[in-house]
Structure 1
Amino acid sequence: MSRTRLRRGRAVRECHTGTSCDGADAVAGARGRIVGPVVTCSRFLLPLVCLAALAPAAAQATPTMAERRLCGAAPVFDDEFDTLNLSAWTLGAARWITHTPWAGDFGDARFTDPGPGSAFAVHDGTLSITARKDAQGHWTSGLLASADEDGHGFTTMYGYFETRVKLPPGPGTWPGVWLNESTPPNWMRPTVEVDAIEYYGQFTDAFHSTVHVWPGRSSEPHGGATQLNSVPPKSLVDDFHTYGTLVTPRWIRLYLDHKEYWQTPTPPQHRLPFMFLVNLALGSGWPIDKTPNPTVMLVDYVRAYQPADPEAFARCLVAGAPPRAPR
Structure 2
Amino acid sequence: MVAGSLIAGMVLLTGVGHHASAVVQQDELNLEQMALSFEEDFDTLDVSAWGPGTRWIAHTPWSGDFGGARFSDPREGFPFSIEDGILRIEARRDDEGEWQSGLLASVDPRGDGFAQQYGYFEMRARLPDGPGVWPAFWLIGKDRSKATAEIDILEYYGDKPGGYSSVVHVWHRDGRHSSQYNRNEVFGPGADAPGAFNTYGVRVDRDWIRVYFNRRFVWKTETQPEHRQPLYILLNLALVDGPTKDATPDPSHMFVDYVRAYRLD
TM-score of the aligned structures, taking structure 1 as reference length: 0.69
Structure 2 unaligned residues grouped into runs of 5+: 5-29
The whole-number CA distance in structure 2 between the counterparts of 1:285 and 1:233 is 27
**Shift in Å at residue 222 of structure 1?**
1.0
**Shift in Å at residue 283 of structure 1?**
1.2
Q: Aligned pair in 2 of structure 1 residues 254, 211: CA closer, same or farther (>3 Å)?
A: same
**Shift in Å at residue 300 of structure 1?**
0.2
1:205 aligns with 2:166: no
- The question of whether the paired residues in 1 share the 8 Å contact of 2:68 and 2:238 is answered with yes
- Residue matched to 1:230: 185
**Shift in Å at residue 233 of structure 1?**
4.8
**Shift in Å at residue 135 of structure 1?**
1.7
- The question of whether the paired residues in 2 share the 8 Å contact of 1:210 and 1:227 is answered with yes
1:131 aligns with 2:78: no
**Shift in Å at residue 207 of structure 1?**
1.0
The whole-number CA distance in structure 1 between the counterparts of 2:241 and 2:94 is 20
Alignment partner of 2:67 out of 107, 113, 129: 107
The whole-number CA distance in structure 2 between the counterparts of 1:149 and 1:203 is 34
- The question of whether the paired residues in 1 share the 8 Å contact of 2:111 and 2:142 is answered with yes
* More displaced stretch, 71-80 vs 163-172: 71-80
Match of 1:289, SS?
A: helix
**Shift in Å at residue 238 of structure 1?**
2.6
Q: Deviations over 1:5-63 (max 9, x none)?
A: xxxxxxxxxxxxxxxxxxxxxxxxxxxxxxxxxxxxxxxxxxxxxxxxxxxxxxxxxxx
Alignment partner of 1:151 out of 111, 123, 130: 111
Structure 1 unaligned residues grouped into runs of 5+: 5-68, 309-327
1:181 aligns with 2:141: yes
The whole-number CA distance in structure 2 between the counterparts of 1:146 and 1:236 is 28
- The question of whether the paired residues in 1 share the 8 Å contact of 2:2 and 2:64 is answered with no
Match of 1:155, SS?
A: coil
**Shift in Å at residue 3 of structure 1?**
2.0
- Between the two proteins, the alignment pairs up a number of residues equal to 238
- The question of whether the paired residues in 2 share the 8 Å contact of 1:129 and 1:280 is answered with yes
The whole-number CA distance in structure 1 between the counterparts of 2:82 and 2:230 is 29
1:196 aligns with 2:156: no
**Shift in Å at residue 201 of structure 1?**
0.6
The whole-number CA distance in structure 1 between the counterparts of 2:44 and 2:90 is 16
**Shift in Å at residue 157 of structure 1?**
1.3
Q: Deviations over 1:274-306 (max 9, x none)?
A: 110000000144521111111000000000000
**Shift in Å at residue 237 of structure 1?**
2.8
- The question of whether the paired residues in 1 share the 8 Å contact of 2:118 and 2:264 is answered with no
The whole-number CA distance in structure 1 between the counterparts of 2:74 and 2:234 is 16
Normalized per residue, the structure richer in strand is: 2
Match of 1:287, SS?
A: helix
Identity of aligned residues (%): 47
- Residue matched to 1:89: 50
Matches within 5 A, 1:1-327: 1-3=1-3, 70-92=31-53, 94-116=54-76, 118-183=78-143, 187=145, 189-216=146-173, 218=174, 221-233=176-188, 235-308=192-265
- The question of whether the paired residues in 2 share the 8 Å contact of 1:204 and 1:233 is answered with no
Match of 1:204, SS?
A: coil
- The question of whether the paired residues in 1 share the 8 Å contact of 2:150 and 2:227 is answered with no
Match of 2:244, SS?
A: coil
**Shift in Å at residue 76 of structure 1?**
1.1
Q: Aligned pair in 2 of structure 1 residues 307, 128: CA closer, same or farther (>3 Å)?
A: same
- The question of whether the paired residues in 2 share the 8 Å contact of 1:224 and 1:267 is answered with no
Match of 1:71, SS?
A: helix
- The question of whether the paired residues in 1 share the 8 Å contact of 2:208 and 2:221 is answered with yes
- The question of whether the paired residues in 2 share the 8 Å contact of 1:76 and 1:306 is answered with yes
Moved over 3 A (4+): 232-236
The whole-number CA distance in structure 2 between the counterparts of 1:131 and 1:236 is 21
Q: Deviations over 1:146-165 (max 9, x none)?
A: 00111100011111000001
